[in-house]
Amino acid sequence: MKTLKRMWCVAGFVGASLIGQAQTKFSNCSAVFIDNRVVVDDYSPTGKCSLTQDAQGTLSVAEATYENNQWRQTAAIDFMVAIRDKNSKTLTMFSKEVYQKVDIKNVLSKCNKGDAIVLLTLKDSYALPHNEIVIH
């Protein structure tokens, strides 16, 4: 699985560089973290992000590297937060603020079970494949 995780991120870099229009588009690997733990259950095309409504900690998006069997944050990334309603699938902004970190309790206070937190990067140089966190 370790090799798959590394290879999936590298494949994204190679794929981005082969697209003729923009060599830097989605060329940096990033992930969602709560405190220093990556949120996705498996950094692969089938990986899923989920949290319970009582989750605690600081939500951040960061450039990520996989070393010594764990994901590490290497540089903070600016992001915005939206919430996708479970029933209508409507996407609304949590706030107009740009964050590098936010208390997850503040975001969860606007969510219901089944909703999803959607994280948006502000630069297209960052690949954030696991950008939606479902609330259980």
What's the pLDDT tens digit per position in 98-116? 999 999 999 999 999 999 9
Q: How many CB atoms lie within 10 A of CB 116?
A: 20
> Would you place residue 66 in the very low, low, confident or very high pLDDT band (cuts 50, 70, 90)?
confident
Q: What are the CA-CA distances from residue 21 to residues 1, 13, 17, 118, 127 (Å)? A: 32, 14, 9, 27, 16
Give the distance between the most distant pair of CA atoms in the chain: 45
Q: Where are the domains of the chain?
A: 2-135
- Give the tens place of pLDDT for each residue, 10-47: 445 444 444 444 458 998 889 999 998 999 999 888 99
List residues bridging with 49 in a β-sheet: 133
